[in-house]
């Protein structure tokens, strides 16, 4: 039986929450390995809606172990609030079914303040950050001045780490003319949450190694999407972490090569939140139709998502970069009733054609999509659980996507409900 990594193959919001939850019935362990509480997953189970940001999607299933890996940056206040909210919905969360890497980095209130100041200073060049302190926390991690969960267990070390961190942030705050922070203020905050956080702290890499040796099936859950990867995305309009499947190894301590299948969650059209290039965006009735039918609002921010046609060039690039073996096609039902459907099959900049998304900021902004048009379908795909139930033109659309992205469709999602899924190939059997 395979270990599986799930990643988004577009700009996030592809429907990973439902697919991970659906796959988790076949898994023993579900692991978050990058990002923070800037990405949200919505699960709909028997009509009950769960909204998760930091907690792995498997947490709503009994008998599953959920793990937050070292690649995730953790806001303790947000995490504790999310735990309390999910508990109120009847889900038990204890150190027995939730573990957090003891070497994971913490997001502090000062990071959120820094995030807001930096975004405001960009003026018209805003990158669309959610303002939750994700980027500044990753900056401190890379600069080796971050506070980690394990630091909470030793007051002497914690005091030294906080003084070093505050000294850096105060120098920046002086530069932009905002009030400095006292180390004691940060320490008081950390003392207030440490006893609630530390019971969940474990050497996750060691736990995962033992579970793998026991033959447990492990599901790795990514956040955001490949085109928001800090290296491979539409830089600088990206997140602050690597969202490609390789981060499943570095963000959890799991050995390279022991993930057997990478599943790319792929929406049947394209959406994006915030600023940045979007070649197939439709600022017209088509975009409005997709947004309204797809309920395209951010789980965390509530921001309206930009909508456009399926971009086969971008998805094919994401598949290559992340080593995706197959895709889960989501929200097919949103496209029901459309007379014509377009797919981007190439790009043009001036007279030159491209079969990939260029790295240059100027080139990305100049890209003009080359479209292929297909007939839509009048029947409904909503709730279909077999290919034979789909309208013929919906099947043709899926097959054309497979041809263009050169990758197999493993599953098709036809509604937010967990069971409304067509299984073509089980990733855990690869």
Residues identified as active-site: 13, 41
Structure tokens at 163: 């003084």
In 10 A of CB 2, how many CB atoms?
18
List the 29-32 sheet strands across, edge first: 201-202, 98-101, 65-68, 29-32, 218-221, 4-8, 261-267, 326-330, 408-413, 421-423
Sign of CA dihedral 271, 132, 137, 60: negative
On the 0-12 / 13-18 / 19+ scale of CB atoms within 10 A, 285 is: exposed
Q: Which residues contact 189 (CB under 8 A, 6 or more apart)?
A: 108, 109
CA 268, CA 341: separation in Å to the nearest integer? 11
CA 147, CA 149: separation in Å to the nearest integer? 7
Q: Which residues contact 274 (CB under 8 A, 6 or more apart)?
A: 127, 128, 129, 237, 303
Query: Where do runs of H (alpha helix) occur along 58-201?
Result: 76-88, 109-121, 134-142, 155-176, 183-197
Instruction: Tell me the DSSP string of 164-220.
Output: HHHHHHHHHHHHHT-----HHHHHHHHHHHHHHHGGGEE-HHHHHHHHHHTT--EEE
């Amino acid at each position: 039986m395979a270990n599986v990594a799930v990643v988004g193959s577009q700009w996030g919001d592809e429907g990973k929450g439902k697919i991970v939850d659906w796959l988790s019935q076949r898994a023993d362990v579900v692991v978050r390995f990058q990002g923070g509480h800037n990405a949200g997953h919505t699960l709909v189970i028997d009509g009950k809606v769960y909204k998760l940001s930091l907690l792995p999607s498997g947490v709503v299933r009994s008998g599953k172990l959920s793990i937050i890996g070292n690649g995730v940056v953790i806001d303790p206040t947000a995490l504790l609030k999310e735990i309390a909210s999910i508990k109120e919905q009847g889900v038990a969360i204890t150190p027995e079914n939730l573990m957090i890497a003891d070497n994971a980095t913490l997001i502090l209130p000062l990071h959120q303040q820094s995030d807001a100041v930096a975004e405001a200073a960009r003026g018209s060049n805003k990158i669309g950050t959610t303002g939750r302190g994700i980027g500044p926390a990753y900056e401190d991690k890379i600069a080796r001045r971050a506070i980690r969960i394990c630091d909470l267990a030793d007051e002497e070390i914690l005091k030294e780490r906080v003084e070093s961190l505050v000294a850096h942030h105060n120098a920046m705050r002086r530069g932009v003319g905002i009030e400095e922070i006292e180390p004691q203020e940060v320490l008081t905050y950390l003392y207030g949450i440490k006893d609630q956080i530390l019971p969940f702290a474990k050497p996750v890499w060691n736990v995962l190694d033992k579970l793998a040796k026991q033959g447990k099936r492990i599901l790795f859950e990514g956040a955001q999407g490949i085109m928001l990867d800090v290296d491979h995305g539409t830089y600088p309009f990206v997140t602050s972490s690597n969202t490609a499947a390789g981060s499943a190894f570095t963000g959890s301590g799991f050995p390279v090569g022991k993930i057997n299948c990478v599943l790319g969650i792929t929406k049947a059209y394209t959406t994006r939140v915030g600023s940045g290039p979007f070649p197939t965006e439709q600022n017209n009735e088509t975009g409005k139709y997709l947004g309204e039918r797809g309920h395209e609002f951010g789980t965390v921010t509530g921001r309206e998502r930009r909508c456009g046609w399926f971009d086969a060039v971008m998805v094919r690039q994401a598949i290559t970069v992340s080593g995706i073996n197959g895709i889960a096609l989501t929200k097919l039902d949103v496209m029901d009733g459309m007379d014509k459907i377009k797919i981007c099959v190439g790009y043009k900049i001036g007279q030159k054609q491209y079969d990939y998304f260029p790295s240059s900021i100027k080139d990305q902004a100049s890209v003009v999509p080359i479209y292929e048009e297909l007939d839509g379908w009048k029947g409904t795909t909503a709730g279909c659980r077999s290919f034979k139930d789909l309208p013929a033109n919906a099947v043709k659309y899926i097959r054309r996507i497979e041809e263009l992205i050169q990758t197999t469709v493993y599953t098709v999602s036809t509604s937010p409900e967990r069971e409304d899924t067509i299984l073509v190939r089980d990733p855990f059997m690869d």
